Amino acid sequence: MLNFRNTNILFIVLFLSLVAIQYYKGFDISWFIALVLVYSAVLFYGSFYIRSNFFLTSFSGKKTNEKIIALSFDDGPSAEYTPQILDILREYGTPATFFVIGENVEENKSILQQISTAGHLIGNHTFFHSNWFDLQPAKKMQEEMQQTQSLMHQITGKQMNWFRPPYGVTNPNVKKAVKGMGYHTIGWNLRSFDTMIKDPAKLLSRLKSMIKPGAVILLHDTQKVTSEVLPAFLQFVKEQQYSVVPLDKLLDLQAYKN
C-alpha cells in the first residue's frame, strides 16, 4: 500500500541508488530534480485526496451492494440555513451528521442543541476552519479541536469521537492531533460541490447521477442551494429505494465517546 512511510522508504532507496549510479557514471542533477518532483507530487496527492489513506486511515464510505447512504453537512451551524435543513430532514424522517465549526457553534448554541435533540450526529470540524489549519503544529491543531470539543460538551453533554479535516486535507501533524484527541477521521466518497455549484438543477442532477450504495455524501448547511435541492433529492432517494441511514450505522463506528 502506498502510504507516507512506504513512500519515504521507496524514495530513500531510489535516492541512494541514484547516488551510487551517479558515482560511477558521472553526475547529472536532472535525475535528482526529477526524483524530488515525483516525491512532491505523491505527497500532494496524499494530502489532498482523503480517500488515499496516505497519512492516516479515514472512514469515507462503505463497500456494499445494499442501497444505503449517509448524509453529512459541514461548516455549520448556520443561523440562516441549518434550521431549514433540520425542518426538511424532519419532514422526510432522514438522519444526518453535522461536522461543526466551533466558531459557528459559539454563535448558534441553540441550533447545535436542536441538531442533537433531533437525534442527528455531530462531529468536530475544527474551531476556526482557516485555510492555514493544516500548516499549524499538531499542538495548535489539537487545541482547536479541544475548544470545539469542550463547547459541544458544555451544550449537549456529549463527547465527540469524529473529526473531519477542512477540505479533507491531511498530513503528519493532522494525524498526530487526531491521535491526541482519540478521534477517528471521517471523509466522504461523494462530493456534491455544493459550495461551488450555484444552480439548483445542476446540483440535483449531479447528486442523482452520483448516488451509489455505501455513499457518504458531503454537503454544507451553509449554502442556499443545498437547502433548495434537499427536498427533491430526498424524494429521488426514496423513489430509487435507497435508505438514508445514520453515519455511525453505515460506518459501524461510534460517534461519541462513552
The CB-based long-range contact list for 238-244 (8 Å cut-off, 24+ gap) reads: 238/92, 240/67, 240/211, 241/67, 242/67, 242/68, 242/69, 242/211, 243/67, 243/68, 243/69, 244/68, 244/69, 244/70, 244/71, 244/94, 244/95, 244/96
Q: How far apart are the first and last CA of the chain?
A: 33
Span interacting with Zn ion, options 22-30, 66-74, 90-98, 171-179, rule CB under 5 A: 66-74
Q: What's the CA angle centered on 78, arms 227 and 200, to 5 degrees?
A: 20
Count interface residues toward Zn ion (CB under 5 A): 3
Indicate the residue whose CB is closest to Zn ion. 74
Looking at beta carbons only, is 197 or 237 nearer to Zn ion? Answer: 197
Looking at beta carbons only, is 4 or 173 nearer to Zn ion? Answer: 173
Looking at beta carbons only, is 76 or 95 nearer to Zn ion? Answer: 76
Span interacting with Zn ion, options 7-15, 26-34, 68-76, 134-142, rule CB under 5 A: 68-76
The catalytically annotated residue of 74, 75, 194, 221 is 74
Site for Zn ion (CB under 5 A): which residue of 58, 72, 73, 75? 75
Looking at beta carbons only, is 130 or 205 nearer to Zn ion? Answer: 130
Looking at beta carbons only, is 53 or 126 nearer to Zn ion? Answer: 126
Span interacting with Zn ion, options 53-61, 140-148, 151-159, 164-172, rule CB under 5 A: 164-172
The nearest distance, CB 75 to Zn ion, in angstroms, is 5
Alpha-carbon distance 106 to 77, whole Å?
Answer: 9
Q: State whether residue 69 is helix, strand or coil.
A: strand
Span interacting with Zn ion, options 22-30, 31-39, 89-97, 163-171, rule CB under 5 A: 163-171
74 is a catalytic site residue:
yes
Torsion of CA 44, 46, 48, 53, to 10 degrees: 180
Alpha-carbon distance 106 to 117, whole Å?
Answer: 17
Report the DSSP pairing between strands 215-220 and 190-191: parallel
Alpha-carbon distance 105 to 149, whole Å?
Answer: 11
Alpha-carbon distance 206 to 71, whole Å?
Answer: 15
The nearest distance, CB 186 to Zn ion, in angstroms, is 12
The nearest distance, CB 101 to Zn ion, in angstroms, is 7
Looking at beta carbons only, is 166 or 214 nearer to Zn ion? Answer: 166
Residue 221 engages Zn ion in binding (rule: CB under 5 A): no
The catalytically annotated residue of 125, 129, 220, 221 is 220
Alpha-carbon distance 46 to 21, whole Å?
Answer: 29
Site for Zn ion (CB under 5 A): which residue of 52, 74, 145, 234? 74
The residue ranges that bind Zn ion (CB under 5 A) are 74-75, 166
Catalytic positions, written as ranges:
74, 220
